[in-house]
Amino acid sequence: MKTPAGELLLLVPTTSYRLDDFQAAARRLGVPLVVGSDLCHRIEDAFGAQPDLIPLDYRRPERAAEQIVEAAARRPIRGIVPASDPTAVIAALAAERLGLPHNPPEAARRAANKHAMRAALRAAGVPVPEFALHDLDGDPEAAARSSPYPCVLKPLIFSASRGVIRADDPAGFVAAWRRIARLLRDTKAERRPRGEDEAHEVLVEAFVPGAEVALEGLLRGGTLEGLALFDKPDPLDGPYFEETLYVTPSRHPAALQREVERVVADGARALGLREGPVHAELRLSPAGPVVLEIAARSIGGLCSRTLRFGAGLTLEEVLVAHAVGLPLQSIRREQRASGVMMIPIPRRGILHAVRGLEAARAVPDVVDLVVTAEVGREVVPLPEGEAYLGFLFAKAESPAAVEAALREGHRRLELDIRAPLPTV
């Protein structure tokens, strides 16, 4: 396999877990890698001087794209891979200017904005929940009177279910509204690459009953190729929506799985997405699949470590190869079932210890356990929190065996989380 000339640019937020996985993928494929980041000093602190870094202004996507073009004049860039919703917009802008395969910038913007995404999908006839956008400076009681119940309130600027709260009646609606407003005030939103309006808005959508699934896919020239369909065996009914288990292959009927992929393909087309990774979340309502999200990026956290393709390719290797034009004739997931548990944080406090790690690793079919939370630091559960305790991985001959292994591994963990000492 001949390595093409030029470097791969990885756009990675400072908080991403995935830098080392992309570094390993690029190294295995023989592709030079340069990392664009908003806080390069933090990348260097975490990973040493290993990554080749380009500082970028993530708060201003147009300026970040200009910085990439300026860097490309000195060092050829062969492809760009974004690792988050905001960086997907920057990648689209920069790739367009460099003449690289890309999503249209407006399509990337639509996919990165919860409200714009739903509006575009609804206009195209793709099933989405009933929704409305509200300004948090407005009257919550008035908004509560116009809302369907049950409903779900979602701030625009967060991801990974942060700040997402279900309300079953007007009183619950007002309480959720005020809790989200307080969370936004407490968050330093000015450090996020989003607009001021988005930092004060909340999306309210009708709650959709049914199981939830996630589709991982790759767009090549506007055609969606499904890479994996994950079941989420734990019910996600609220009041908060902390994801835990992802297991693939799906155990839903084959016809329903095909319908999920068709709906996501229709949705990607409605958004205008044409190239690169897609991560979609859907509810399987009694009437059929309903789209909750279609993102122009791959799955987050360390969850991609559950996936292997062809002769052992990782998801990051697939994305690197696609971005730089290496041949990808067929991308078929391995036959064995696999899954991940995003280890939830049960309560707020200082993490003093995680015990039972070796006992959890000893569970048959458990293949890895990574604790990402730092001992001695405060851990915060959803809806205020924005991270998990860590990731537990399993592989087995069936999805049921994977699920059982993950649950047993989690059961063996003992978390020592204590209330912080009062300040004097």
Q: Tens digit of pLDDT for each residue in 195-239? A: 555 678 999 999 999 999 999 999 999 999 999 999 999 999 999
Same domain, 134 and 66: no
> Is residue 123 over pLDDT 80?
yes
Q: Tens digit of pLDDT for each residue in 12-32? A: 876 567 888 999 999 999 999
How large is the average pLDDT for residues 382-389?
91
Reduced to 3 states (helix: H, G, I; strand: E, B; else coil), residue 154 is strand
Q: Is residue 375 part of a domain?
A: yes
Per residue, the 3-state secondary structure of 140-169, as one string, reads HHHHHHCCCCCEEEEECCCCCCCCCEEECC
Q: How confident is the model at residue 336 (pLDDT cuts 50, 70, 90)?
A: very high
Which residue reads 């407005």 in tokens? Answer: 138
* Burial letters 310-334, b for 16+ CB under 10 A, else e: eeebbbbbbbbbbbbebebeebebb
Domain of 43, CATH number, reads 3.40.50.20
Q: Is residue 194 part of a domain?
A: yes
Q: Is residue 42 part of a domain?
A: yes
Average pLDDT, the chain: 91
State residue 409's pLDDT score: 98
Q: How many domains does the chain have?
A: 3
Which of 141-145, 186-190, 416-420 bottoms out in mean pLDDT, i.e. has the lowest? 186-190
State residue 17's pLDDT score: 76
Same domain, 376 and 422: yes
> Is residue 3 over pLDDT 60?
no
- Greatest mean pLDDT among 35-39, 198-202, 331-335 lies in 331-335
State residue 15's pLDDT score: 59
Which residue reads 């200082």 in tokens? Answer: 350
How far apart, in whole angstroms, are the C-alpha atoms of residue 211 and residue 7?
41
Encoding tokens for residue 142? 């008035």
Distance of CA 86 to the CA centre of its chain: 11
In degrees rounded to 5, what are phi and psi of residue 186? -80, -15
In degrees rounded to 5, what are phi and psi of residue 4? -70, 160
Say which DSSP state 84 is in.
S
> Is residue 63 over pLDDT 70?
yes
Which residue reads 């789209």 in tokens? Answer: 291
> Is residue 190 over pLDDT 50?
no
Please, are residues 150 and 167 in contact by the beta-carbon 8 Å criterion?
yes
Integer angstrom CA distances of residue 275 from 105, 298, 332, 392, 394: 11, 12, 19, 31, 30
**Packing angle of the helix pair 254-271, 105-112 (nearest 10 deg):** 120
DSSP-H helix ranges across 75-228: 85-98, 105-112, 114-123, 140-145, 170-186
Among the candidates 174, 206, 238, a domain finishes at 206
Same domain, 364 and 403: yes
State residue 2's pLDDT score: 47
Same domain, 87 and 135: no
> Is residue 155 over pLDDT 60?
yes
As a 3-state breakdown, the chain gives helix, strand, coil percent values, each rounded to 5, of 35, 30, 40
Domain, as residue range, for 406: 336-424
Among the candidates 206, 228, 261, a domain finishes at 206
Same domain, 100 and 135: no
Interior angle at CA 142, CA 138 and CA 147, nearest 5:
110
Same domain, 162 and 103: no
Going 237 to 241 to 246 to 250, the CA torsion angle's sign is: positive
Same domain, 69 and 135: no
How large is the average pLDDT for residues 252-278?
98
Can you list the positions of beta strands (E) in 12-87? 33-37, 52-55, 77-82
How far apart, in whole angstroms, are the C-alpha atoms of residue 386 and residue 283?
22
How large is the average pLDDT for residues 278-298?
97
Reduced to 3 states (helix: H, G, I; strand: E, B; else coil), residue 248 is strand
Please, are residues 80 and 26 in contact by the beta-carbon 8 Å criterion?
no
Which residues make beta-bridge pairs with 368? 393
